[in-house]
């Protein structure tokens, strides 16, 4: 039944409804995955019902049934969202109304309404994503919808898809200059316009403020981009790229949490904060970090970050002096006030936080010290770095006490723990076994197999049991270099956990047990363990190395294209527009100056539109062929002697009038006119005339016109 309806649709001599509903369906598809399943199923069901009415018009529901269906859709949206006035329920309702509309549509007016609803769906898609892929897909939808609009406006072209697509492409190209002018000059709101209508995202994956055994190893299955980094000078080796995000202080013997300092000691905590410093022992590393929206406050930074409160600075940009350079890219999610240097909070445990959740892509210019010294922790910090549950994991505690008894200094205890992991047949696996309630003992003395979080957790527990201040740090390690853009991409599978211990001679010192068990994980990066994680399963065989390399090249090229898209399109926000206009002396801060920019943008747009329209008019004039050019030259020469050709005159009537005015020119005028009439209106070569003789006659006409040079009487 469905196939019969489709055949009926395709046999339509105009095919108009296929063009109308095609872009409507294409614009609806991306929205279906975002809303409850019943919305997509209902739309498909309504379109199926409409296709059935093409073959069986009696199936078309009457007005009361259509009204009931509309009320049902409105009620369903209200039950699903709890309200109707908002971007999410509004978009869902538009999808359903777009599916209902064909059931009542009859003529050209209804077709135009459906196309305008399609354009609105395209606009609403950008509230959720402005990625390069989405933009390309939506341009295709707009092209097809515009072609359908051309077909509605020119019914004679309904059966010519090539004509409609060509006209649609021409219209979009004609609008391009106006769009570019408005894009550059139209006044922008600070921040993201899209974000004004956004709701917080859900279902995000990534690091959290709690780490359980197996949490980080689960992220190996995700190739989602977390952030990108471009270094100002020579980048450090991958093995030195530790991106610090969260510091976990509290443990129950199994899970680790960020925790909170003792609120009773807040005054001490605040007073001691000023004594925290990081002193760089070498040249600082400067880099630009572009962070994807993650709805969290933490910011992954290269160890150790330098800030103005720690003997360094948040930015080394000459333009910004010692201020943090932060530019927001309006491609996300929920709008928050512009983040400035004052809203970035350095924490005493060498983290950088943002005062509000990051709900849009942001760019930061930062400094880090790869070689550094830190000062001693406060009493509160030391107490937190030694805290353990009152009981549990007794075998691990006993092992730590033995190391203390046989060691003369704290560094020796650290080395014994690393030797223990190396010499006791511990394994580094991407699929660690489950652990029991006594997780540390279970790992150290039974399974002896795990991923980075297992080793960081056990090592930190052992250090605290030995009386050495220690804490777990989670973040990311390494990164995948993209040679096309000369930057590094850090993905979820780069997530990593390591330990920090306080040693008298070196201060807070990073200790990563992974360097002992799986050095390739640190030296090369997580890609060494999961090299084909972003490849389709059918292509991930080691036997097709050239396919793997080709696939990797494609993904790098695509990521580089997305980076350029983010940098030059989505990054063109209020602040960047202001800096761009400053180069031409057009930047303004007052409302009056901004209205001036708006007037300039509109004026230039009108000028561009007028130029485009003029070019179209010039190009729309039908070109003269060779024969018409010859005859036009003949007419111009007669006009010079006072015998212009009248608009309503044909060649023969004009010749009769001209010979009446100038009888002395009757012979050449008659010969030229008759020759032109014979060539223009005579028989074509396909009807019997020889092509060679036709060419000879045309050459003879050219010769006579060249020789015809009349003078005034």
Instruction: State the pLDDT confidence band at 598, using cuts at 50, 70 and 90.
Output: low
Non-local (6+) Cβ contacts of 320 within 8 A are 365
Residue 80 has pLDDT above 70, yes or no: yes
- The segment with the largest mean pLDDT, out of 186-195, 567-576, 592-601, 665-674, is 665-674
Report the alpha-carbon distance of residue 125 to residue 136 in Å, rounded.
Answer: 12
Crossing angle, helix 63-81 and helix 37-55, to 10 degrees?
Answer: 170
Asked if residue 482 lies in contact with residue 324, where contact means CB atoms within 8 angstroms, the answer is no
Instruction: State the pLDDT confidence band at 311, using cuts at 50, 70 and 90.
Output: very low
Residue 561 has pLDDT above 80, yes or no: no
Asked if residue 142 lies in contact with residue 172, where contact means CB atoms within 8 angstroms, the answer is yes
**In a 10 Å sphere around its CB, with 0-12 CB exposed, 13-18 middle and 19+ buried, how is residue 255 labelled?**
middle
Residue 167 has pLDDT above 80, yes or no: yes
Q: Which position among 512, 559, 571, 573 bears the catalytic label?
A: 512
DSSP string, 425-452: T-EE-SSPPP--SSHHHHIIIII-EE-H
Instruction: State the pLDDT confidence band at 471, using cuts at 50, 70 and 90.
Output: very high
Q: What is the pLDDT of residue 300?
A: 93
Q: What is the pLDDT of residue 13?
A: 47
**In a 10 Å sphere around its CB, with 0-12 CB exposed, 13-18 middle and 19+ buried, how is residue 596 labelled?**
middle
Closest CA to 673 of 693, 700, 640, 651: 651
Instruction: State the pLDDT confidence band at 329, using cuts at 50, 70 and 90.
Output: very low
Bridge-based pairing state of the strands 352-354 and 210-211:
unpaired
Lowest mean pLDDT among 375-379, 583-587, 692-696: 583-587
Q: What is the pLDDT of residue 313?
A: 45
Non-local (6+) Cβ contacts of 514 within 8 A are 428, 452, 455, 496, 498, 521, 522
Residue 656 has pLDDT above 70, yes or no: yes
**How many other β-carbons are positioned within 10 Å of the β-carbon of residue 363?**
19
Report the alpha-carbon distance of residue 528 to residue 524 in Å, rounded.
Answer: 6
Q: Which position among 31, 326, 454, 496 bears the catalytic label?
A: 496
Instruction: State the pLDDT confidence band at 3, using cuts at 50, 70 and 90.
Output: low
Mean of pLDDT values over 360-380? 85
Mean of pLDDT values over 637-648? 89
Helix and strand totals (H; E) in the chain: 24, 21
Q: What is the pLDDT of residue 265?
A: 43
- Over residues 104-121, the pLDDT tens digits come to 877 788 888 888 989 999
Q: Report the SS3 class of residue 241.
A: coil
Q: Report the SS3 class of residue 307.
A: coil
Report the alpha-carbon distance of residue 494 to residue 63 in Å, rounded.
Answer: 58
Residue 501 has pLDDT above 90, yes or no: yes
- The segment with the largest mean pLDDT, out of 189-198, 331-340, 345-354, 528-537, is 345-354
12 a catalytic residue: no
Question: Bigger pLDDT: 486 or 567?
Answer: 486
Report the alpha-carbon distance of residue 293 to residue 357 in Å, rounded.
Answer: 9
Mean of pLDDT values over 532-552? 52
Residue 462 has pLDDT above 90, yes or no: yes
Residue 492: phi, psi to the nearest 5?
-60, -35
Does residue 304 have a cis bond before it (omega within 30 degrees)? Answer: yes
**In a 10 Å sphere around its CB, with 0-12 CB exposed, 13-18 middle and 19+ buried, how is residue 469 labelled?**
buried
How much of the chain, in percent, has pLDDT values that exceed 70? 73
In order of 306, 393, 597, the CA distances from 593 in angstroms are 39, 69, 6
Q: What is the pLDDT of residue 412?
A: 92
Residue 20: phi, psi to the nearest 5?
-70, -45
Q: Report the SS3 class of residue 33.
A: coil
Residue 314 has pLDDT above 60, yes or no: no
- Over residues 679-712, the pLDDT tens digits come to 888 755 444 456 567 788 888 888 999 999 988 8
Q: What is the pLDDT of residue 242?
A: 94
Instruction: State the pLDDT confidence band at 148, using cuts at 50, 70 and 90.
Output: confident
In order of 16, 100, 101, 156, 647, the CA distances from 148 in angstroms are 8, 19, 17, 13, 39
Residue 605 has pLDDT above 70, yes or no: no
Asked if residue 470 lies in contact with residue 436, where contact means CB atoms within 8 angstroms, the answer is no
Question: Bigger pLDDT: 193 or 49?
Answer: 49
Lowest mean pLDDT among 190-204, 550-564, 628-642: 190-204
Instruction: State the pLDDT confidence band at 241, using cuts at 50, 70 and 90.
Output: very high
> What is the Cβ-side half-sphere exposure of residue 364, based on CA atoms within 13 angstroms?
29
Residue 303 has pLDDT above 80, yes or no: yes
452 a catalytic residue: yes
Q: Report the SS3 class of residue 611.
A: helix
- The segment with the largest mean pLDDT, out of 311-325, 515-529, 635-649, is 635-649
Crossing angle, helix 16-32 and helix 2-10, to 10 degrees?
Answer: 130
Average pLDDT along the chain: 77
Question: Bigger pLDDT: 531 or 103?
Answer: 103
Instruction: State the pLDDT confidence band at 429, using cuts at 50, 70 and 90.
Output: confident
Q: What is the pLDDT of residue 527?
A: 60
What is the spatial order of strands in the sheet that 507-511 belongs to? 301-302, 242-248, 470-477, 495-503, 507-511
- Over residues 9-29, the pLDDT tens digits come to 544 544 567 778 888 888 888
Q: What is the pLDDT of residue 688?
A: 47
Report the alpha-carbon distance of residue 427 to residue 512 in Å, rounded.
Answer: 15
Listed in sequence order, the DSSP H helices in 221-314 are: 266-273
Q: What is the pLDDT of residue 301?
A: 92
Instruction: State the pLDDT confidence band at 413, using cuts at 50, 70 and 90.
Output: very high
**In a 10 Å sphere around its CB, with 0-12 CB exposed, 13-18 middle and 19+ buried, how is residue 512 labelled?**
buried
Report the alpha-carbon distance of residue 118 to residue 137 in Å, rounded.
Answer: 14
Listed in sequence order, the DSSP H helices in 259-352 are: 266-273
Asked if residue 215 lies in contact with residue 453, where contact means CB atoms within 8 angstroms, the answer is yes
Residue 570 has pLDDT above 90, yes or no: no
Q: What is the pLDDT of residue 50?
A: 80
Q: Report the SS3 class of residue 409.
A: coil
Q: What is the pLDDT of residue 575?
A: 67
Report the alpha-carbon distance of residue 209 to residue 294 in Å, rounded.
Answer: 13
- H or E, element range at 227: strand 225-231
Residue 318 has pLDDT above 50, yes or no: no
Instruction: Give the pTM.
Output: 0.61
Asked if residue 417 lies in contact with residue 403, where contact means CB atoms within 8 angstroms, the answer is yes
Q: Which position among 73, 326, 442, 452 bears the catalytic label?
A: 452
Kindly tell me the sign of the dihedral angle through the C-alpha atoms of 665, 666, 668, 672.
positive
Q: What is the pLDDT of residue 594?
A: 59
How much of the chain, in percent, has pLDDT values that exceed 90? 16
Instruction: State the pLDDT confidence band at 130, using cuts at 50, 70 and 90.
Output: confident
Non-local (6+) Cβ contacts of 536 within 8 A are none
Q: What is the pLDDT of residue 619?
A: 59
């Amino acid at each position: 039944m469905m196939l019969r309806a489709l055949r009926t649709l395709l046999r339509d001599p105009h095919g108009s409804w296929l063009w109308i509903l095609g872009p409507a369906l294409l614009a609806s598809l991306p929205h279906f995955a975002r809303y409850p399943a019943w919305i997509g199923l209902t739309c498909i069901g309504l379109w199926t019902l409409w296709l059935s009415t093409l073959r069986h018009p009696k199936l078309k529901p009457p007005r009361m049934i259509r009204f009931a269906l509309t009320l049902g859709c409105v009620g369903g949206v209200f039950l699903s969202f709890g309200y109707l006035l908002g971007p999410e329920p509004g978009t869902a309702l538009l999808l359903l109304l777009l599916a209902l509309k064909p059931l009542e549509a009859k003529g050209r007016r209804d077709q135009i309404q459906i196309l305008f609803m399609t354009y609105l769906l395209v606009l609403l898609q950008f509230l959720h994503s402005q990625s390069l892929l989405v933009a390309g897909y939506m341009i295709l939808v707009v092209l097809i919808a515009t072609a359908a609009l051309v077909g509605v406006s020119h019914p004679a072209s309904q059966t010519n898809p090539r004509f409609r697509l060509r006209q649609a492409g021409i219209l979009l190209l004609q609008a391009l200059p106006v769009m570019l002018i408005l894009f550059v000059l139209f006044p922008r709101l600070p921040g993201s316009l899209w974000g004004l209508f956004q709701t917080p995202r859900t279902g995000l994956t990534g690091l959290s403020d709690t780490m359980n055994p197996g949490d980080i190893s689960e992220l190996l299955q995700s190739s989602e981009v977390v952030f990108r980094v471009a270094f100002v000078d020579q980048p450090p080796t991958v093995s030195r790229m530790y991106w610090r995000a969260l510091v976990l202080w509290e443990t129950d013997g199994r899970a680790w949490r960020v925790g909170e300092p003792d609120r009773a000691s807040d005054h001490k905590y605040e007073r001691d904060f000023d004594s925290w410093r990081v002193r760089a022992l070498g040249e600082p590393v400067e880099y630009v970090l572009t962070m994807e929206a993650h709805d969290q406050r933490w910011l992954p930074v290269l160890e150790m970050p330098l800030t103005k409160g720690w003997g360094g600075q948040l930015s080394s940009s000459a333009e910004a002096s010692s201020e943090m350079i932060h530019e927001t890219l309006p491609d996300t999610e929920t709008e928050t006030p512009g983040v400035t240097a004052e809203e970035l909070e350095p924490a005493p445990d060498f983290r950088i936080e943002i005062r509000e959740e990051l709900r849009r892509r942001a760019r930061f210019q930062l400094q880090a010290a790869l070689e550094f010294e830190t000062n001693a922790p406060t009493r509160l910090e030391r107490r937190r770095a030694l805290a353990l549950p009152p009981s549990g994991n007794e075998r691990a505690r006993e092992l730590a006490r033995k190391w203390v008894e046989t060691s003369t200094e704290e560094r020796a205890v650290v080395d014994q723990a690393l030797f223990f992991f190396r010499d006791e047949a511990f394994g580094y696996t991407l699929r660690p076994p489950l652990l029991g309630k006594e997780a540390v003992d279970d790992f150290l003395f039974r399974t002896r197999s795990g991923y980075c979080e297992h080793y960081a957790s056990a090592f930190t527990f052992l250090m605290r049991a030995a009386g050495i201040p220690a804490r777990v740090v989670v973040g990311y390690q390494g990164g995948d270099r993209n040679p096309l853009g000369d930057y590094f991409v850090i993905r979820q599978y780069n997530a990593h956990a390591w330990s920090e211990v306080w040693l008298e001679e070196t201060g807070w010192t990073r200790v990563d047990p992974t360097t002992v068990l799986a050095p390739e994980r640190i030296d090369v990066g997580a890609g060494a363990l999961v090299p084909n994680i972003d490849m389709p399963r059918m292509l991930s065989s080691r036997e097709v190395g050239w396919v793997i390399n080709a696939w990797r090249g494609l993904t790098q090229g695509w990521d580089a294209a997305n980076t350029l898209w983010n940098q030059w399109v989505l990054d063109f926000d209020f602040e960047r527009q202001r800096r761009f206009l400053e180069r031409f002396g057009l930047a303004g801060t007052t409302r009056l100056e901004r209205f001036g920019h708006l007037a300039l943008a509109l004026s230039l747009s009108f000028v561009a539109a007028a130029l485009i329209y003029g070019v179209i008019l010039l190009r729309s004039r039908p070109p003269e062929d060779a024969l018409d050019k010859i005859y036009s030259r003949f007419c111009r020469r007669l006009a010079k002697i006072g015998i212009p050709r009248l608009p309503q005159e044909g060649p023969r009537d004009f010749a009769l009038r001209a010979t009446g005015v100038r009888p002395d020119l009757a012979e050449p005028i008659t010969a030229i006119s008759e020759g032109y009439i014979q060539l223009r209106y005579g028989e074509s070569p396909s009807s019997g005339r020889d092509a060679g003789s036709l060419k000879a006659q045309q050459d003879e006409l050219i010769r006579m016109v060249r020789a015809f040079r009349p003078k005034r009487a």
